[in-house]
């Protein structure tokens, strides 16, 4: 995909040598042209941890007039449940009146063996002058991190002068993990 900013030759980016029914990767077509990560993830809340999302713009060459997206789950059961539900009740995944066509992705991804504590969501706590949207955005950009955000939530804190922010990245892979390592 022309939208992918990583290295397509890395082993982690190649199709896993597994049967299709063991893949955690789904492919969605018929999405709004300008679909956001937040819109993409909203209807799948509750299925399981999302390892990665990639949204591709419309492409006549690739055969999709609307946007297309890849969603990879950490756990196989989550991908299987979403795939099953998309066949029995496709309207569950409606985004702006468009019902996506959901299939298994041709690029297969095996279930992750990472601990449950690994997530695309980072909880960041610290002094308000360091833990705020402007400062963290500048820090991540300075460190060369490219990301898509589902949302960022500022929570209250019981320690005076401190704050807590919840950064919900679009992906664990190359986004949340990169931010975590730089922090």
CA distance 111 to 72: 9
Task: Evaluate whether 121 touches 176 at the Cβ level (below 8 Å).
Answer: yes
The pLDDT value recorded for residue 159 is 87
Task: Evaluate whether 114 touches 74 at the Cβ level (below 8 Å).
Answer: yes
Strands 25-31 and 67-73: antiparallel
Tokens standing for residue 181: 């390592």
Strands 121-127 and 25-31: unpaired
Question: Over the stretch 58-104, which tens digit does the pLDDT of each residue have?
Answer: 988 888 889 999 999 999 999 999 999 999 999 999 999 999 999 99
Range in 74-78, 98-102, 157-161, 177-181 the model is least confident about: 157-161
Q: Express as a percent the part of the chain with pLDDT over 90.
A: 80
Phi, psi of 54 (to 5 degrees): -140, 125
Average pLDDT of the chain? Answer: 91
Can you tell me the mean pLDDT for 8-25? 75
Per-residue pLDDT band at 9 (split at 50, 70, 90): low
| Total-model pTM | 0.87
């Amino acid at each position: 995909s022309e939208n992918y900013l990583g290295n397509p030759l890395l082993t982690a980016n190649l199709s896993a040598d597994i049967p299709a029914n063991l893949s955690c990767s789904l492919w969605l077509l018929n999405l709004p042209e300008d679909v956001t990560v937040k819109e993409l993830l909203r209807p799948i809340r509750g299925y399981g941890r999302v390892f990665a999302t990639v949204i591709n713009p419309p492409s006549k060459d690739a055969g999709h007039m609307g946007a297309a997206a890849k969603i990879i789950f950490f756990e196989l059961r989550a991908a299987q449940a979403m795939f099953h539900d998309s066949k029995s009740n496709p309207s569950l995944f409606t985004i702006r009146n468009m019902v996506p066509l959901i299939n298994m992705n041709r690029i297969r991804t095996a279930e992750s063996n990472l601990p449950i504590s690994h997530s695309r969501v980072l909880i960041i706590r610290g002094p308000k002058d360091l833990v705020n949207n402007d400062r963290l955005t500048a820090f991540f950009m300075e460190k060369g991190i490219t990301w898509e955000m589902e949302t960022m939530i500022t929570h209250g804190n019981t320690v005076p002068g401190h704050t807590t922010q919840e950064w919900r990245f679009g992906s664990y892979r190359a986004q949340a993990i990169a931010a975590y390592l730089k922090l």
